[in-house]
């Protein structure tokens, strides 16, 4: 069966591309809710409703396992989905936990008590909704102690990327990094807590300086999924082909997505 990948827009393609490279024989169905993007400025109830709606659409595509390649959805909706909504025969996974496991140097699924880690100051760059949820800090506290997190809501970056304006997005990134560095001058690590942001990783790195380790989610989530599928072979299969779906205008989204990933990507309407 295919694995579903959901994002509010085209940002989750950074995760989709990494998964496709790591698991080339695994069909993937990508669904972007471009009609309602960005999620980062919406309230929690809207985010939950949209995420559930489009997860169900991916189930219709045969995707019993869905990856929320959207940090806002992972931060705001995932826990509620898993506790109150998800059927027993379906799985929905987020992108926060693999990233935190990488930052804290834990193996996938390590459930041991929290402990001190090498990184004691972390800069988090994310959407306003993700920052407000404090989901990153909550998940981090389950795994590490003594880590100071300074979060910067990066308003406007997702909008600029969805509108194919990379120059504006880069200027906004530099402004947001400068704002965070005024509050935390010497972070040890920086977390790109939105799957749109890795396309601008070099801009973040340049603004932060070479001494800061910058973490993005693509390859981390891909490795975590490979490990998960090895432990859950019933979720593996190739009975349906992969494809790209959008709630927006397929021609507009295809053009922006192709620029975003640097190669042709063809979306179809949901």
Q: Which of 52, 63, 70, 154 is catalytic?
A: 70
Distance linking the first and last C-alpha atoms of the chain: 19
Asked whether the beta carbons of 71 and 130 are under 8 A apart, the reply is yes
Asked whether the beta carbons of 4 and 70 are under 8 A apart, the reply is no
Q: Rounded CA gap, 186 and 111, in Å?
A: 30
Catalytic annotation present for 70: yes
Which pairs from 108-111 meet CB under 8 Å and 24+ separation?
108/223, 108/224, 108/227, 108/228, 109/227, 110/143
Q: Which of 52, 63, 154, 194 is catalytic?
A: 194
Catalytic annotation present for 63: no
**Which sequence positions are flagged as catalytic?**
70, 194
């Amino acid at each position: 069966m295919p694995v579903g990948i959901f994002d509010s827009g085209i940002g989750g393609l950074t995760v989709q591309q990494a998964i496709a490279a790591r698991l080339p024989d695994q069909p993937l169905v990508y669904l972007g809710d471009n009609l309602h993007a960005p999620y980062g400025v919406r309230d929690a109830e809207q985010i939950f409703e949209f995420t559930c709606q489009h997860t169900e659409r991916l189930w219709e595509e045969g995707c019993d396992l869905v990856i929320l390649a959207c940090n806002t959805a992972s931060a705001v909706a995932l826990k509620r989905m898993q506790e109150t909504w998800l059927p027993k025969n379906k799985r929905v996974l987020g992108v926060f936990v693999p990233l935190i496991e990488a930052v804290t140097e834990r193996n996938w699924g390590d459930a041991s008590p929290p402990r001190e880690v090498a990184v004691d100051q972390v800069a988090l760059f994310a959407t306003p909704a993700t920052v407000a949820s404090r989901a990153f800090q909550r998940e981090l506290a389950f795994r590490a102690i003594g880590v100071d997190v300074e979060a910067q809501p990066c308003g406007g970056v997702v909008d600029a990327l969805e509108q194919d304006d990379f120059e504006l997005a880069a200027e906004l990134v530099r402004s947001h990094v400068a704002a965070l560095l005024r509050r935390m001058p010497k972070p040890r690590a920086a977390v790109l807590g939105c799957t749109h942001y890795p396309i601008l990783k070099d801009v973040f790195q340049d603004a932060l300086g070479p001494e800061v380790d910058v973490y993005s989610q693509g390859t981390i989530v891909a490795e975590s999924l490979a490990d998960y599928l090895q432990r859950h072979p019933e979720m593996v299969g190739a009975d349906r082909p992969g494809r790209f779906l959008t709630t927006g205008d397929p021609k507009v989204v295809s053009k922006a997505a192709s620029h975003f990933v640097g190669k042709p990507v063809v979306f179809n309407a949901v």
